[in-house]
Structures are given as structure tokens and as C-alpha cells.
């Protein structure tokens, strides 16, 4: 790209999230100026298919006029109001009602935050508040998994089980135990069947609870299908087993559906794909297609009633954000969910799942690919040596090169550690999917040829 004044300004004044700052100074930004459906365009006019829907989030595509109109109408009517101390606004009320209607049975109440990280911080505080309310203040620990992603604040970043989020941040900062990542291909033992792997992970869960004491463990949090850790689908029977063990030890089950929610896996919510019912569900991203920042925590009556009874004694639930239930964000969220419903975009994900997954699996024999994974409209290629299952060369380097080559070929995807991840907008068509894989294939072949040379 030809440097221009925006490039120079970005290099001079910005600090980018998840970016090698010195490398950024050398290469500069890719400035996206416009979007149209599943495609975005950079400042030079070059077209890209957005194969990750932004950051796993733009369900309805990048140019939906109804979301713009919903935002403008709400800005005209009431641009801001808060929801502290009995105040309310219509979009927040209606969105909470809609979420109670469409989320699984029992999740009847919504609490709004601005981001997935804040939502998971809120979950931690709700669970602690609840256990204080129930007179068991020692029941505070969380169980999470390595490679799970739950955000980056001090507390939600502690739940995250990825090295980059802990290293040099002095995390975890809350009591959390990370269990084995439920990735059979990578962590299954020599000769172990998938069923035996599931049984081993469930035994690890049970033994961890017994060793630490069930009276000390408050909640288990997990993504039904892991996203940012590398698109990791769980082994058969894993989630119903986790749910049963949590129920047995009175441990709350939290489904982090920030990526999975609203049809991504071909079912409305990820927990439905894998057959479990959480006490708490966290949603964000596709809730507004990320046109506005918004997250919603859904809780069941058991959680709500314990919190409500305690607030009646204390006088308040001392937690909330200036923009909790922001009317413009909620109006956009409502309209976005209406579009998803009217255009049957969750059904589109289910209908296109076979074509998308088949397209991914066509790379199974590629020399750079160790494992192909995915479900619904999310997938990943783990680049690894097929025999050793170890990265080819320096961990992460090859996936970064493939993502870069894909970008040159007109496909934006994301390299997460050794995995190249795809998660296209839910409006994607079969033709778009064919183009995504043509561009990804060209990138893989180019990097393979360079690696050989």
C-alpha cells in the first residue's frame, strides 16, 4: 500500500490492540473505508471478503440501512439515558423482553453492558454477590479452560486461558482454575478414543472440584465452541457431562456465547447445539452485528431471585455502567434481531453449514494443514505437521503468513496462534463461500510454495 497522510498519522499517534507496535510502525495500517454486504474496501479501493465478519460479529453484513435508520431514529427520539436507580428506556425494555423470548428456556432476565469483557466481569460480580447473599462467601472460585476466551479486563482476562492474555499482565487476578482444553485431536492421548477423552476430561473436572472443595467453587464458564482460542469444537458428550457435574455440586454453569450466539453454529445458541442449559448466558457481537457496542447477560430465575433478595436487604446491586442499556445500542440490537429473524439468517447458517464445512474440509490433505475443524458457519485450519501435530516452524508464524497472503488475495481471515479462522457474516451466500475458499486456497498454496523454496 502507498503511504498517505492517514497512514502516517496512525503510525504517529495510535496504539493498536493485539498488535506488534514496532511491526506496525514499519508496515502501517490497512484502513477500511467502506463496507457492502460481506465485503469491505480499503482506502485504495481494494475489495476484500470479510471472512471473519469483522471480529466474529457482523451477522447482517456491512451496509445494512435498517440498522443505520434505527440508530438515527433513536438518536432523534432519545440519544442517551441511563438505567440506574429505576430509570428505563423503551429500546432497553423491549430488547430485554426479546432476549428472554428467544434465548433458551429459563433465561428470563437481561443485564446490559458495553462489551463481552464487561459482561463477564459482571457475571463474576453477580456470582460473588449471589454467594454472599446465600451466606457462603467462600464459594468464589471459577473453573474455565485453557484456550478459552472470555475477554481482557483484569477479571474477565483472568478467566481467559490463553498465554498472551496473562503473560506480563500479572494475571490471573481472581481465583480461577483452568482445566484441559476439550480438543481431542491435540490433547487426546495416544490410542485414546473420543469417548475416552471426554470421560477423562469429565473425571478431571470432578476430581478438581473434589480436591478444591465444592464449597469453594462458584461457577464453570466456557464457550460451547471455542472461538478465539482456535475454533475448537468439543468432543461428543462433553457439555452434557459438564452440566451434570456442575448441577451435582451446586456450581453455576455460564455459557459464554459472545461468538456462538444468534445462529453462528447453525442453532440459535451454542448450548442448544451441544445439549445443555446454562444458568447464565453471555451474548454480544452478533447481538447488534457490532454496529453499536452492546452485550447482554441473561440469567435464570434462580440467579435473579438470589440477587434480588439480597438487593432488597442491602438496598442496591452496586454495579452498572454509564451506558448499560444505552437506548441507541439497544434500538440497533432490536432491529438487528428483527432482521436476523425476518431473513431467517440463523436458518441460512444451518442451510449453508454443509457447503461451508465441506469447503473447509477440502483442505484436509493440504501439506500445511494439520486439522480442519468447525461447525455451522465457523471454522479453522490448524497449520501443523500432520504426524507430530506440532507447528511447522515457529508457532504462529505460518498462520500469520497465510492470513497475510489471504489478505493480498482479497480475503480477510484471522490467524489465532496456529489456526487460520473463518467466521463469515450470516448473510453469506454459496457463491461467497466458493470465493472465500478459492482465495484461501491460493494463499495456502502460495505460502506452501514459498516454504518449499
Quote the least distance from Cβ 177 to ligand PLP, whole Å.
Answer: 18
Residue of the chain from 51, 61, 116, 333 that contacts ligand PLP (CB under 6 A): 116
Whether the Cβ atoms of residue 326 and residue 291 lie closer than 8 Å to each other: no
Q: Minimal distance in Å, beta carbon 150 to ligand PLP?
A: 5
Taking the C-alpha atoms of residue 400 and residue 245, their distance in angstroms, rounded to an integer, is 39
Is residue 380 a contact point for ligand PLP (CB under 6 A)? no
Closest CA to 350 of 377, 328, 373, 320: 377
- Please state the closest distance from residue 283 (CB atom) to ligand PLP, in A: 10
Q: How far is the CB of 273 from ligand PLP (least distance, A)?
A: 15
Shortest Å, Cβ 214 to ligand PLP? 26
Instruction: Using CB positions, name the residue nearest to ligand PLP.
Output: 116
Q: Judged by CB, which is closer to ligand PLP: 116, or 234?
A: 116
Tell me how far CA of residue 401 lies from CA of 14, 157, 284, in angstroms.
24, 27, 30
165 near ligand PLP (CB under 6 A) = no
* Size of residue set near ligand PLP by CB under 6 A: 14
Of 232-240, 255-263, 316-324, 348-356, the window that binds ligand PLP (rule: CB under 6 A) is 255-263
* Phi and psi at residue 188, to the nearest 5°: -65, 140
Q: Which three cell numbers stand for residue 169?
A: 499482565
Q: Does 52 bind ligand PLP (CB under 6 A)?
A: no
Shortest CA distance to 66 belongs to which of 260, 345, 275?
A: 345
Alpha-carbon separation of residue 76 from 79, 290, 331, 333 (angstroms): 7, 21, 12, 17
Give whichever of 306 and 422 is closer to ligand PLP, judged by the CB atom. 422
Is the separation of the CB atoms in 290 and 54 below 8 Å? yes
Compute the Cα dihedral for 357, 360, 362, 365 and give only its sign.
Answer: negative
Integer Cα distance of 94 and 92 in angstroms: 6
Check binding of 54 to ligand PLP (CB under 6 A).
no
Element (H, E) at 305: helix 301-314
Determine if 223 is a binding residue for ligand PLP (CB under 6 A). Answer: yes
Instruction: Select from 51, 182, 227, 270 the one that contacts ligand PLP (CB under 6 A).
Output: 227
Closer residue to ligand PLP, CB minimum distance, 53 or 258: 258
117 vs 270: CA distance, rounded Å: 19
Dihedral through CA 265, CA 269, CA 270, CA 271, nearest 10?
-150
DSSP 8-state secondary structure symbol assigned to residue 62:
S
Of positions 201, 231, 258, 420, contacts ligand PLP by CB under 6 A: 258
Whole-angstrom Cα Rg for the chain: 22
- Interface with ligand PLP includes 112 (CB under 6 A)? no
Q: Among residues 83, 89, 115, 357, which is the contact residue for ligand PLP, using CB under 6 A?
A: 115
Measured from the CB atom, the residue of 120 and 277 that comes closer to ligand PLP is 120
Q: Does residue 269 bind ligand PLP (CB under 6 A)?
A: no
Buried b / exposed e across 329-356, counting CB within 10 Å, b at 16+? bbbbbbbbbebbeeeebbebbbebbebb
Return the residues of window 123-152 that contact ligand PLP according to CB under 6 A. Answer: 149-151
Q: Contact at 8 Å (CB) between 414 and 420?
A: yes
Taking the complex as a whole, the smallest distance from the CB of residue 124 to ligand PLP amounts, in Å, to 12
373 part of the interface to ligand PLP, by CB under 6 A: no
Nearer to ligand PLP, 256 or 382 (CB): 256
Stretch that binds ligand PLP, among 73-81, 256-264, 299-307, 358-366 (CB under 6 A): 256-264
DSSP class of residue 181 equals P
- Write out the binding residues for ligand PLP, residues 275-334 only, by CB under 6 A: 284
265, 267, 373, 407, 427 from 346: Cα distances, Å = 9, 7, 20, 27, 9
Provide the minimum distance between the beta carbon of 256 and ligand PLP in the complex, in angstroms, as a whole number.
Answer: 4
**Strands 411-412 and 378-383, how do they pair?**
unpaired
CB of 253 to ligand PLP, least distance (A): 15
Q: Which residues bind ligand PLP (CB under 6 A)?
A: 115-117, 120, 149-151, 223, 227-228, 256, 258-259, 284
Amino acid at each position: 500500500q502507498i503511504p498517505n497522510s492517514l497512514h502516517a498519522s496512525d503510525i504517529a499517534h495510535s496504539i493498536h490492540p493485539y498488535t506488534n507496535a514496532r511491526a506496525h510502525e514499519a508496515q502501517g495500517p490497512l484502513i477500511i473505508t467502506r463496507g457492502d454486504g460481506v465485503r469491505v474496501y480499503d482506502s485504495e479501493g481494494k475489495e476484500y471478503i470479510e471472512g471473519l465478519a469483522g471480529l466474529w460479529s457482523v451477522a447482517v453484513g456491512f451496509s445494512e440501512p435498517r440498522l443505520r435508520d434505527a440508530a438515527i431514529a433513536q438518536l432523534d427520539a432519545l440519544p442517551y439515558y441511563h438505567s440506574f436507580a429505576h430509570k428505563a428506556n423503551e429500546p432497553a425494555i423491549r430488547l430485554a423482553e426479546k432476549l428472554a423470548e428467544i434465548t433458551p428456556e429459563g433465561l428470563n432476565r437481561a443485564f446490559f453492558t458495553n462489551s463481552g469483557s464487561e459482561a463477564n466481569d459482571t457475571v463474576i460480580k453477580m456470582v460473588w454477590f449471589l454467594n454472599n447473599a446465600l451466606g457462603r462467601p467462600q464459594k468464589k472460585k471459577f473453573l474455565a479452560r485453557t484456550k478459552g476466551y472470555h475477554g481482557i479486563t483484569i477479571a474477565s482476562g483472568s478467566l481467559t486461558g490463553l498465554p498472551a492474555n496473562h503473560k506480563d499482565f500479572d494475571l490471573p487476578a481472581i481465583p480461577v482454575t483452568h482445566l484441559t482444553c476439550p480438543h481431542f485431536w491435540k490433547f487426546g492421548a495416544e490410542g485414546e478414543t473420543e469417548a475416552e477423552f471426554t470421560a477423562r476430561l469429565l473425571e478431571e473436572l470432578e476430581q478438581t472440584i473434589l480436591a478444591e472443595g465444592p464449597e469453594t467453587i462458584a461457577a464453570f464458564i466456557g464457550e460451547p465452541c471455542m472461538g478465539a482460542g482456535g475454533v475448537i469444537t468439543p468432543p461428543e458428550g462433553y457439555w452434557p457431562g459438564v452440566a451434570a457435574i456442575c448441577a451435582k455440586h451446586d456450581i453455576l454453569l455460564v455459557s459464554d456465547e459472545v461468538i456462538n450466539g444468534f445462529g453462528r453454529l447453525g442453532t440459535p445458541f451454542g448450548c442448544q447445539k451441544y445439549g445443555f442449559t446454562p444458568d447464565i448466558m453471555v451474548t454480544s457481537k452478533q447481538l447488534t452485528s457490532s454496529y453499536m457496542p452492546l452485550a447482554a447477560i441473561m440469567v435464570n430465575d434462580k440467579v435473579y431471585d438470589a440477587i434480588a433478595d439480597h438487593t432488597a436487604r442491602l438496598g442496591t446491586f452496586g454495579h452498572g455502567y454509564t451506558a448499560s442499556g444505552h437506548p441507541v445500542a439497544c434500538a440497533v440490537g432490536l432491529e438487528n434481531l428483527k432482521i436476523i429473524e425476518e431473513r431467517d439468517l440463523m436458518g441460512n447458517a444451518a442451510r449453508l453449514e454443509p457447503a461451508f464445512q465441506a469447503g473447509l474440509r477440502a483442505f484436509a490433505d493440504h501439506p500445511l494443514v494439520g486439522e480442519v475443524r468447525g461447525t455451522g458457519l465457523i471454522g479453522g485450519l490448524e497449520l501443523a505437521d500432520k504426524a507430530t501435530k506440532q507447528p511447522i516452524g515457529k508457532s504462529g508464524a505460518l498462520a500469520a503468513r497465510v492470513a497475510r497472503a489471504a489478505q493480498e488475495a482479497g480475503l480477510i481471515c484471522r490467524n489465532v496462534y496456529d489456526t487460520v479462522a473463518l467466521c463469515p457474516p450470516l448473510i453469506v451466500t454459496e457463491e461467497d463461500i466458493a470465493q472465500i475458499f478459492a482465495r484461501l486456497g491460493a494463499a495456502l498454496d502460495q505460502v506452501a510454495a514459498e516454504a518449499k523454496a
